[in-house]
Amino acid sequence: MSAPAAGLATPNAWVIDLRFQDQPGVIASYALDTGDGLALVDVGPGSTLGALEAGLSERGASLSDVRHILLTHIHLDHAGAAGTLLERLPRARAYVHERGAAHLSRPSRLLASAAQIYGDQMDRLWGEMRPIDPDRLTVLSGGEGLRLGRLEGEALSTPGHAVHHLAYHLGDDLFVGDVGGIRLDARQTPRAPTPPPDIDLPAWRRSVELLRARDARTLALAHFGTFLQEAAHWDGLLGTLERDAAVVGEGLGAGQGLEEITERFTEHLFTDLEAEAPGLSERFGFACPPWMSVQGLARSWSRAAVRGGGERTRGEAG
């Protein structure tokens, strides 16, 4: 099975398909030649480390060439393999937001939280997550200039999906992690992955405005591929984000339970996806199961209600 082509070529980076759970086109890592070894933007979970190695080998490179690991955030599908890689690569460093750094050095709390969701499927899905020596981390808050060999860029604070989310503007490319949405096919309107616990829709919209104003040619999405930096992408993402939040908010307001809301949410989501690209809904479920998005949005609505809904407009949660 092969995934439909998603996105366009970029001269500065290549996409490595990590083939999560043997599914193509779900989780990407990006490799860039800096002149001072390779930089990887996100490295995926420990369970896909073999696919990362194979993807580098296809380009005539190897893990030993890696010097820089740029993490958009610390969720297992983006950063789970980072500790294992650093143990194998004594000359490499990882770059991470200051609010995620401690979890990489002491991942026990992060893993315990994930285990509450995934139970005995943890190893199959995510593999091992090794702790990282704090001295191997470059800790960022956003706004820092980066110089990696001959490659210059900037780290950008982009909360919304997670409080510790960064994007990286490197050359003509914006590496946007999850805040740029899920787009598994060029025909698909971007959809926001909204798992618990940190979904903040006002912050997400501010991050979108920051990113859409950047002078970049391409957007590099973790899920999945590269696309033009254009208004249509961001407008589509914000539109689906508002609609998804409204489905959950309306269900909560009507007194529905999460199971009922999830059923309606999934129906709406999969109907949209199948209309845009037949067969897409199954692969989308690997990138972000709908029940996780419902839980994150429900938590966001609950937090907004506690705050008195000061920032809510048009059926949104914060």
What is this structure's pTM? Answer: 0.91
User: How do residues 221-248 score in pLDDT, each as one tens digit?
Assistant: 999 999 999 999 999 999 999 999 999 9
* Paired residues of 155 in beta bridges: 168
Domain ranges of the chain: 14-236, 240-307
Give me the pLDDT at residue 95, please: 98
Over residues 242-265, the mean pLDDT reads 95
pLDDT for residue 316 is more than 90: no
Per DSSP (E only), the strands in the chain are 14-17, 28-33, 38-41, 66-70, 93-97, 137-140, 145-148, 151-157, 166-170, 173-177, 218-221, 225-228
Predicted local confidence at residue 314, as pLDDT:
37
Q: Which residue has the tokens 């090794």?
A: 130
* Residues whose CB falls within 8 Å of the CB of residue 25, separated by 6 or more in sequence, listed in order: 3, 4, 6, 17, 184, 224, 225, 283
- Please check the confidence at residue 250 and state whether its pLDDT lies above 80: yes
3-class secondary-structure state, position 57 = helix
Confidence class of residue 11 from pLDDT cuts 50, 70 and 90? low
pLDDT at 306: 65
Between the CA atoms of 266, 268, 273 and 274, what dihedral angle is there, to the nearest 10 degrees? 100
Calpha distance 308→123 (Å, rounded)? 40
Tokens of 271: 């109907």
d(CA 30, CA 157): 19
Q: What's the rounded Cα separation, in Å, for the pair 16 and 148?
A: 20
Distance CA 166, CA 280 (A): 28
Whether CATH 3.60.15.10 fits 14-236: yes
Per residue in 55-111, pLDDT tens? 999 999 999 999 999 999 999 999 999 999 999 999 999 999 999 999 999 998 888
Q: Tell me if residue 35 falls in helix, strand or coil.
A: coil
| pLDDT recorded at residue 120 | 81
pLDDT at 2 over 90: no
Over 80: is that where the pLDDT of 133 sits? yes
pLDDT tens across 162-192, in order?
Answer: 999 999 999 999 999 999 999 999 999 999 9
Residue 4, pLDDT score: 39
Q: What percent of the chain has pLDDT over 90?
A: 81
Alpha-carbon distance of 47 to 251, in angstroms, equals: 36
